[in-house]
Chains A and B, each alone.
Chain A
């Protein structure tokens, strides 16, 4: 329990919500329109910026910048990278092993939020996606990082093979990725790639019309072989 009273200022509304009256929200007009949302929480126990920063360090891997008291919060992915680089803890990952999500949403691809927990049953760090769909899923599986890497490597190879068989040449694959429609193999490829640190591929998102389009504001490197070379290297295969 973090707060006993919360005020939400948003748009033209001022909403007040209390712990002891959880089924009621009081609304007042907000005098000055607020674009965005501001949550003001009266905390049950005091909390420090360092505590929040520390929490985000462990749980936030997203791409939207977070500022704590005006300072950019640490981004968890760097912290995790450091941990692994220093060999502190053997990373485990909970992965959607049985349901490789062809249908995964673009927001999840672009802005994953992960959480690392110390788990007493495992002698290392447990990393699991904090997407509640996964968190509640019976399919959730924890595997060792080594197994995960094997799995993802196999995934790369199978996807690349499937794509190559379908399109024949790297140029054709690039043309399809960059210009025209999409198929499940490509979607899966993007997802798998982003599970590593393929920030370049964040430019792609799948929209309702099933066309592959760049995400506004993202770095554009389309029509080059860079990503393919990187994937080939990762997958240990040649095309």
Chain B
């Protein structure tokens, strides 16, 4: 990672700290709207997904 990108990340984190706990929360659509949420519904599917992700 270049120094300039490291600085951009650090600057963004500093801005976020200034927002603190009074900020907004992600919408429920972001939480539940993905294809992953719609399709992976059983523990077996979740296990298969994590296995395929970790071995990919």
A binds B: no
Please list the residues of chain A having a beta carbon within 8 angstroms of any beta carbon in chain B.
none
Interface residues of B (CB under 8 A from A): none
